[in-house]
């Protein structure tokens, strides 16, 4: 049996394994597929390994595997959940760093309730990857795509060119007049696996919120509404790095009036994205422990 903790941030849920207490299964990719299955497994958007640090500058290390077994390069929601666990288990204080891939991500516990196993956490994702040289402002992080780049894809009506942003993992952002008019499942899958993206891409469909015409009170405080198709998990209720990519792309396109702090509303809840004048991006939002258990691993070795 494999002990696990299930946690979620804005409905983006993962199965977490404690690598501090002992060895972990040798094939986490296969285990991720089994555990993530919502009918035959625990049910999740992926699997997270919480590991001891491999450097003196970090308190821990994180690896994340999507529901299809592919390894993710960044996951803002899972990072916040792991930060909550590190803090509430007594391993860390209120500010510390977690490494994921090549990034060292500072985590700050803003609120914590041990009894409820909930927290509000801010993580410093850092700068987007620079895609354009010789540009001084935010637009250096955004590459615009044309219809000729996305051959055989019928794009919906757009209010701004398709934007590609990398937060260390790839995101393709489409700004649309209304999310109601977009077939997220079909179009998201087509773009995510398009030959233009040899390693696939995450896809965000974005409706810039207009409080004067909004009929949904749940979006009253949001700057943008977003639905996400993740390249390794399909549509998810939220995506932390996707929220960051949307903020960068929207700010670059001049679609947001507040250029240093925005609220992104996703089906699972709201995330706040903040950045400074050097374009260091912070992600702030909830983390919640759902339950703990033990997985009967079967054939997993």
Pairing verdict, β 103-113 and 118-126: antiparallel
> Phi/psi of residue 181, each to 5°?
-95, 10
* 226 touches 205 (CB < 8 A): yes
Question: CB-based contacts of 251: which residues, under 8 Å, 6+ apart?
Answer: 138, 259, 262, 275
Q: Which residue blocks in the chain are alpha helix, DSSP H?
A: 28-36, 76-88, 184-192, 240-252
Left (φ > 0), alpha (ψ -120 to 50) or beta: where does 120 sit? beta
C-alpha–C-alpha distance, residues 207 and 184, integer Å = 13
48 exposed, middle or buried (CB, 10 Å; 0-12, 13-18, 19+)?
Answer: buried
Instruction: Give Cα 289 to chain centroid, integer Å.
Output: 17
Q: ∠ CA(162), CA(207), CA(214), 5° rounding?
A: 160
Catalytic residue among 10, 58, 92, 239: 239
For the chain, the straight-line distance linking the first and the last C-alpha, in angstroms and rounded, comes to 11
Structure tokens at 109: 């516990």
Q: Is 92 a catalytic residue?
A: no
Catalytic residue among 10, 75, 81, 244: 75
Q: Is 239 a catalytic residue?
A: yes
> Which residues are known catalytic residues?
75, 239
């Amino acid at each position: 049996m494999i002990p696990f903790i299930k946690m979620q941030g804005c409905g983006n849920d993962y199965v977490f394994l404690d690598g501090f207490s002992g060895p972990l299964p040798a094939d986490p990719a296969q285990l991720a597929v089994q555990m993530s299955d919502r009918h035959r497994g625990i049910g999740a958007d992926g699997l997270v390994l919480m590991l001891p640090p491999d450097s003196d500058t970090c308190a821990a290390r994180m690896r994340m595997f999507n529901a299809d077994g592919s390894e993710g390069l960044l996951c803002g929601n899972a990072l916040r959940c792991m930060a909550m666990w590190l803090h509430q288990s007594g391993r860390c204080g209120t500010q510390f760093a977690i490494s994921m891939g090549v990034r060292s991500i500072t985590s700050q516990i803003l609120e914590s309730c041990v009894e409820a196993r909930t927290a509000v956490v801010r993580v410093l994702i850092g700068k987007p990857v620079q895609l354009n040289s010789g540009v001084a402002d935010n637009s250096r992080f955004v590459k615009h795509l044309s219809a000729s780049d996305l051959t055989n894809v019928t794009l919906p009506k757009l209010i701004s060119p398709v934007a590609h942003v990398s937060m260390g993992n790839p995101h393709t952002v489409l700004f649309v007049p209304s999310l109601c008019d977009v077939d997220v499942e079909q179009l998201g899958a087509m773009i995510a696996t398009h030959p233009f993206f040899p390693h696939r891409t995450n896809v965000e469909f974005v409706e810039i919120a207009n409080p004067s015409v909004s009929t949904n009170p749940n979006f009253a405080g949001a700057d943008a509404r977003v639905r996400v198709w993740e390249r390794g998990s399909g549509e998810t209720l939220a995506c932390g790095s996707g929220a960051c990519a949307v903020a960068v792309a929207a700010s670059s396109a001049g679609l947001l009036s507040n250029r240093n702090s925005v609220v992104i509303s996703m089906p699972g809840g709201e995330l706040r994205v903040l950045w400074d004048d050097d374009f260091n991006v912070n992600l702030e939002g909830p983390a919640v422990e759902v339950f703990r258990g033990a997985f009967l691993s079967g054939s997993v070795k």
